[in-house]
């Protein structure tokens, strides 16, 4: 049985005595807070909003809060205790920090590896970019190999991994095509992540691979990935790398999708999502 991201992440809530090592230093009222402190306060505000079910603070803490996925979730925030620690904050440029969150501990015992979220400057304020990571259970990779597929060590999947533990991979997601759609069908190129789609329970993904010149063997396959737009939790289905094929995801609420050749990233093609 796959790990239930919806239950775990959409009910995340911070306890009242978390992360003593990540508590911000006291700053005199006459002294403006440092940039790093402002960035890290964004993280604390985000978890506080989940703990207190504060929709306004939640939307004020995240980037692209206008997107329907975030607007929808803000109206139904629920709570589950989680501890966390800000391990380090690394400045990437004048508008982006990478903030590594460690010691994520959930009440059901599932721990995440270090999660390096992006915090970006949006409209003059630091915001947590929830779209900057994806969480892929290692059981999903085992599902692929158990089905007889072979994975090359230099596959684009492995290159996307930025952190891991015994249960999960943390990945940087594929290119974002962007946008949102509520009920329709759309076509995307391999490697372009779909818009956030409100799924009423089931969605069809059809892959149309172009000829790639590789043998029709266990290495030549396409992966379709469903990603929860709120939590970043992913799960997958495999499809033929040489012929048209359709698979179905049984999702609810907002998700986005990505399709690409797992071992041969230069392979081109397109995919439809229909709901």
CB atoms within 10 A of CB 150: 14
Asked if residue 14 has pLDDT above 70, the reply is no
d(CA 98, CA 1): 33
pLDDT tens-digit readout, 189-248: 999 999 899 988 999 999 999 999 999 999 999 999 999 999 899 999 999 999 999 999
pLDDT band at 22 (very low <50, low <70, confident <90, very high): very low
For residue 154, what pLDDT is reported? 86
Helices (H), 153-255: 156-159
Lowest mean pLDDT among 11-15, 39-43, 213-217, 235-239: 11-15
Min mean pLDDT across 102-111, 161-170, 182-191, 250-259 is at 102-111
How far is the C-alpha of 29 from the C-alpha of 255, rounded, in Å?
Answer: 43
At 96-136, the pLDDT tens digits run: 999 999 987 655 557 889 999 999 999 999 999 999 899 99
**Which top CATH class is 5-132?**
alpha beta
pLDDT higher than 80, residue 7: no
In this structure, which CATH number among 3.30.300, 2.40.128, 2.60.40, 2.60.120 belongs to the domain 135-274?
A: 2.60.120
Percent of the chain scored above 90 by pLDDT?
Answer: 66
Q: Is residue 131 classed exposed, middle or buried when 0-12, 13-18 and 19+ CB atoms within 10 A define those classes?
A: buried
Closest CA to 70 of 230, 200, 183: 230
Res. 174 pLDDT band, cuts 50 70 90: low
Domain definitions of the chain by residue range? 5-132, 135-274
Residue 275, pLDDT score: 77
CA torsion sign, 256 to 261 to 264 to 268? Answer: negative
> What's the mean pLDDT in 12-33?
37
Residue 177: φ, ψ to 5°: -75, -35
In the three-class reduction of DSSP (H, G, I as helix; E, B as strand; rest coil), residue 211 is classed as coil
């Amino acid at each position: 049985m796959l790990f239930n991201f919806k239950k775990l992440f959409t009910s995340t809530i911070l306890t009242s005595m978390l992360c003593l090592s990540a508590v911000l230093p006291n700053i005199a009222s006459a002294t403006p807070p440092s940039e790093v402190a402002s960035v890290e306060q964004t993280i604390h505000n985000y978890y506080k909003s989940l703990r207190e079910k504060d929709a306004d603070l939640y939307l004020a803490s995240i980037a692209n809060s206008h997107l329907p996925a975030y607007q929808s979730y803000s109206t139904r925030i629920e709570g589950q205790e989680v501890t966390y620690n800000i391990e380090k904050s690394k400045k990437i440029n004048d508008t982006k920090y990478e903030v590594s969150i460690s010691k994520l501990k959930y009440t059901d015992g599932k721990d995440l590896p270090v999660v390096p979220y992006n915090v970006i400057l949006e409209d003059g304020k630091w915001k947590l970019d929830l779209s900057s990571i994806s969480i892929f259970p290692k059981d999903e990779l085992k599902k692929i190999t158990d089905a007889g597929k072979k994975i090359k060590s230099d596959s684009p999947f492995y290159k996307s991994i930025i952190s891991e533990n015994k249960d999960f991979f943390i990945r940087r997601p594929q290119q974002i095509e962007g946008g949102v759609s509520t009920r329709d069908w759309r076509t995307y190129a391999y490697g372009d992540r779909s818009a956030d789609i409100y799924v009423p329970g089931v969605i069809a993904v059809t892959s149309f691979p172009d000829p790639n010149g590789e043998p029709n063997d266990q290495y030549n396959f396409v992966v379709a990935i469903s990603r929860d737009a709120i939590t970043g939790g992913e799960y997958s289905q495999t499809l033929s790398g040489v012929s048209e094929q359709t698979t179905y995801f049984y999702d609810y609420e907002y998700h986005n999708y990505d399709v690409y050749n797992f071992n041969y990233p230069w392979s081109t093609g397109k995919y439809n999502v229909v709901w």
